[in-house]
Amino acid sequence: MSNEIHVLTNGQIIDALDPEPRSGNIFVQSGRIIDISFQESDLQRADYIFDLKGKYVTPGLWDVHTHIGKGIPDHEAKEEMLSQRTIRAGINCREALKLGITSLRVVGEKEFIDVAWRNFFNSGAILGPDLYTCGWFITTTAGHFLKSSCALEVDGVTEYRRVIREQMKHGVDFIKLNLTGGVMGPSWDKMPNTFPMDDEMKAAFDLCSQRGFKVVAHAGGKDGIIKAVNYGAHTLEHGYMLDDECVELLAASNTFFVPTLSLTHMNRGTTYADNDFEHKWTEANPIDEEYRLRAIDAAGGHAEGFRKAIEAGVKIACGSDLDLPFGALLEVAMMVKCGMTAHQAITAATLTSAEVCLVDDQYGTLEPGKYADIVVLNANPLEDVNNFRDLNMVFKKGHLVPLESQPVFF
């Protein structure tokens, strides 16, 4: 990587550190921010200057609940070759990067496609987002997410231990455990129901703790939410049925909440879309009528629990559970619709999501020493978070991302 110093000047900096825009010259070298200065004379140090007058500069966005091969439900998953899904997953990641989504956590993908792409992007051979991986989605027989082809059905303590160790052996970063039903699935996949038995859950969490792996817990129903938090889940995914008891427990814990509001709200159909962008997305992503009705039924309680979590000070990160590449853009807007301020939503989609992935010392804010994952916008996202769609430039570890190009090798 070049040792040249690039500087981004005249832009207004917005990140989790300050609820108001601030001025500053951002100096970047070898992929990292090396300084933020306020003196025009400092610009003499730069080899190249990006004049961002009238622009707004934020950290790259995160989506910490994705399935990079496709989305939910994946009607084609059982009819395609593994190579097709693998190629599509990489393209999806690249397309997300072009929208300013510079980091993704993958919480269920078949045959360790996520691990393979993480390693390839990390090699530096091709420009892509950072990936944080879980491998397979671990559920029970007659569990959740079965249509995706990304779920492993396991039963009994011995099988849980073996399958979790297989994920570890293949190099995942986190372990994804399914505790309850969800919005989308067969009639027996009911959201309030908990699927693993207590001995299975205890064995799974104990093993992850012993080996130092944090658990990503899918839990929609109250019983599963309470068990996820009590067993020490690192993140609670969905939380569709959060009530006062759940929120109080969550606020007192070290568990992060990844609400995936878009999964319920964006799958209700075009009549619920609030703008042209949402309308086009829902038209392009039709859903089975049964699932659409289940999303409508769940959305109100989902939003209510989210608002209670905000008020209680729960740590909330940004994860969409929608098809790439647009998920994070929809989710950050949905967080504001459902009760967050714009600054809270930006914090959730940057710093808190970096904390979820255990890399907040390297990402999530615009500070010296951190990687230069930077988004440049034409309009102020604090005035309207939909301005994240009014993109000017994206930098990934200091590299300017070609927004209209095919994959770039360097």
Quickly list H helices, 252-352: 261-265, 276-284, 289-312, 327-337, 342-347
What mean pLDDT do residues 175-188 have?
Answer: 93
**What's the CATH number for 61-356?**
3.20.20.140
For residues 264 and 321, give the distance between their C-alpha atoms in angstroms, rounded to a whole number.
10
Q: Element (H or E) spanning 151, and its range?
A: strand 151-153
Q: Domain residue spans in the chain?
A: 5-59+364-400, 61-356
For residues 217 and 48, give the distance between their C-alpha atoms in angstroms, rounded to a whole number.
45
What mean pLDDT do residues 121-147 have?
Answer: 96
Question: Positive or negative, the Cα torsion across 17, 67, 326, 280?
Answer: negative
pTM, whole model, 2 decimals? 0.95
- Report pLDDT for 38: 87
- Report pLDDT for 409: 35
**What's the CATH number for 5-59+364-400?**
2.30.40.10
- Report pLDDT for 73: 46
Quickly tell me which residue has 């914090």 as its tokens: 347
Adjacency order of strands within the sheet including 25-29: 32-37, 25-29, 5-9, 48-51
pLDDT in tens, 38-60: 888 788 899 999 999 999 999 99
Q: Which of 46-50, 79-83, 376-380, 384-388 has the lowest mean pLDDT?
A: 79-83
Q: What is the DSSP letter of 366?
A: -
Q: Which is nearest to 150 in space by CA: 171, 169, 176, 131? A: 176
**Hey, do 5-59+364-400 and 61-356 end up sharing a CATH topology, with the first three levels equal?**
no
pLDDT in tens, 255-266: 999 999 999 999
The set of residues, in sequence order, having a beta carbon less than 8 Å from that of 127 and lying 6+ positions away, is 94, 97, 121, 396, 399, 401, 407, 408, 410
- Report pLDDT for 407: 47
pLDDT in tens, 314-369: 999 999 999 999 999 999 999 999 999 999 999 999 999 999 999 999 999 999 99
pLDDT band at residue 147 under the 50/70/90 scheme: confident
- Report pLDDT for 4: 94
pLDDT of 216 higher than 80 = yes
Share of the chain above pLDDT 90, in %: 89
Torsion angles phi and psi, residue 284, rounded to 5: -80, -15
